[in-house]
Amino acid sequence: MMSILHRYIALNVIRGFFLLALILVSLFAVLLLIEELEDVGTGSYTWALAIQYVLLQTPKILLDFAAFIGLVGSIVALGALAGHHELIAVESVGGTPKNVTFAVIVTGVALMLGVLAIAQFVVPVTLHKANVDKTIATEGFGDFVSKTGYWSQSNGRFLHVRDIEYGRVPTNIEIYEFNERHQLKRYLFADHADIQQSNLWILHSVQIKEMVAGSMQLRTEIEMPWQSFLSAAQLGIIVSKPEALSLTDLYHFVVGLKQRGEQSYRYELIFWQKLMNPIAAAIMILLGMRFVFGSQRHVSMGKRITMGVLAGIAFYVLSQLITHMGTLLQLPPTLIAMLPAAIVLGLLFILYLAGNKKFQV
């Protein structure tokens, strides 16, 4: 009997989560599309590309609002059960709040594993494609991206980047330089490059073929600076923004920065925040249960949802405040990322121990 009840509650929680996700993501997608209309007609940016851009942004919207969706979605699902006296029926056949809590926790963990998979495998791909397609269309570059990598040219110089490692490190780089008579005067191949600025790359393991006195000579360099001709917009086609990187790419990129003695604080913070986002969402699902139990008979669905929305907004404001203050004080990124969820979890634990009914809606 308990397994049937668990499945029933789980299906309702999943239904509530996806219903709210659909509403919220659709709302923000429409707002984003309205914003994109300003760019339609710029270069070759069309309505179709604008709609494609918005659709590719939807996984990121879902990821950003996962905690809020988890909170309000669980309130909608469990509140509907309470409103129809189904939670009372569950108690009448031997179910307890602990049974319901267990079913909700298991469901929340499953949903958040899905959110984590979206952060790892879906968002990096969709965000990068959205950025590349829009940039190429609106800026009117002669650049293009194909199966062989990225190509760009300026004033007799051609750049070919075959691969991108960790979303931000160009690898297998070829540079062709031609003279005024369109004759090849220098060819460079680099294993990878560290991008210091948009116009300054440090090439590593470089092979250089250069025309000297009518013959092509070969030499190698462990590393060498290269003045790039790419603009910031063109560079955005090659490298992904930190927010668009997968967890593994962020981790390896941070490790590389530390090995080279470069500043990695910002990327560490983004990594831990992305990692904590699904965990925070699972905790917010538990918080949603506090707005349901003990109030089945006398609290309307509208009041439950209103309180849930206010709690979600408060959590967002708290997260932003901790992030800004923590960054200003240079607190450890792990502490900044974990503190908002830890505060909510601590509050839930205190309420559980105290059994203080006045905190229940």
pLDDT, tens digit, 9 for 90 and up, residues 201-246: 999 999 999 988 778 899 999 999 999 999 888 998 999 988 889 9
Domain count, the chain: 2
Which residue range is the domain that position 210 belongs to?
Answer: 156-228
Average pLDDT for 117-136? 92
In tens, the pLDDT along 63-83 reads 999 999 999 988 888 887 776
144 occurs within a structural domain: no
253 occurs within a structural domain: no
**How many angstroms separate the most distant Cα atoms in the chain?**
95
345 occurs within a structural domain: yes
**Distance between CA 129 and CA 122 in Å, rounded?**
11
* Spatial CA neighbour of 337 closest among 320, 350, 314: 320
278 and 160 share one domain: no
In tens, the pLDDT along 268-279 reads 999 999 999 888
117 and 83 share one domain: yes
Other Cβ atoms less than 10 A from the Cβ of 127: the count is: 19
In tens, the pLDDT along 327-359 reads 999 999 999 999 999 999 998 888 777 765 543
Q: Which helix (H) or strand (E) holds 169?
A: strand 169-178
246 occurs within a structural domain: no
**Distance between CA 96 and CA 104 in Å, rounded?**
13
269 occurs within a structural domain: yes
List, in sequence order, every beta strand (DSSP E) within 184-339: 184-197, 200-212, 215-227
8 occurs within a structural domain: yes
39 and 163 share one domain: no
Average pLDDT for 145-163? 92
Domain boundary among 175, 207, 228: 228
Confidence of residue 189 (pLDDT cuts 50, 70, 90): very high
239 occurs within a structural domain: no
In the chain, the percentage of residues whose pLDDT exceeds 70 is: 91
In the chain, the percentage of residues whose pLDDT exceeds 90 is: 56
123 and 179 share one domain: no
Domain boundary among 168, 203, 228: 228
135 and 26 share one domain: yes
Helices 97-117, 2-36: inter-axial angle, 10-degree rounding: 40
The pLDDT of residue 61: 95
Residue type, 32: L
284 and 338 share one domain: yes
The pLDDT of residue 358: 45
Q: Could you tell me if 164 and 171 are in contact, meaning their C-beta atoms sit under 8 angstroms apart? A: yes
On the question of pLDDT at 142 being above 80, the answer is no
129 and 170 share one domain: no
115 and 7 share one domain: yes
133 and 7 share one domain: yes
On the question of pLDDT at 154 being above 80, the answer is yes
Domain boundary among 176, 211, 228: 228
Q: Is the dihedral of CA 134, 138, 144, 150 positive or negative?
A: negative
The pLDDT of residue 68: 92
Higher per-residue pLDDT: 3 or 234: 234
**DSSP structural state of residue 42:** S
On the question of pLDDT at 297 being above 60, the answer is no
In tens, the pLDDT along 27-52 reads 999 999 999 999 999 999 999 999 99
**Distance between CA 310 and CA 314 in Å, rounded?**
6
Confidence of residue 8 (pLDDT cuts 50, 70, 90): confident
On the question of pLDDT at 361 being above 80, the answer is no
68 and 205 share one domain: no
On the question of pLDDT at 311 being above 60, the answer is yes
Place of tokens 């200003």: 328
Q: For 240-252, b where at least 16 C-beta lie within 10 A, e where not — what string?
A: bebebbbbebbbb
249 occurs within a structural domain: no
117 and 36 share one domain: yes
Residue 71: partners with Cβ closer than 8 Å, 6 or more residues away:
284, 285, 287, 288, 308, 311, 312, 315
* Spatial CA neighbour of 165 closest among 253, 272, 274: 253
Q: Residue 175: give its domain's CATH number.
A: 2.60.450.10
Q: Name the average pLDDT for the chain.
A: 88
Residue 82: partners with Cβ closer than 8 Å, 6 or more residues away:
292, 295, 296
Higher per-residue pLDDT: 121 or 144: 121
15 and 112 share one domain: yes
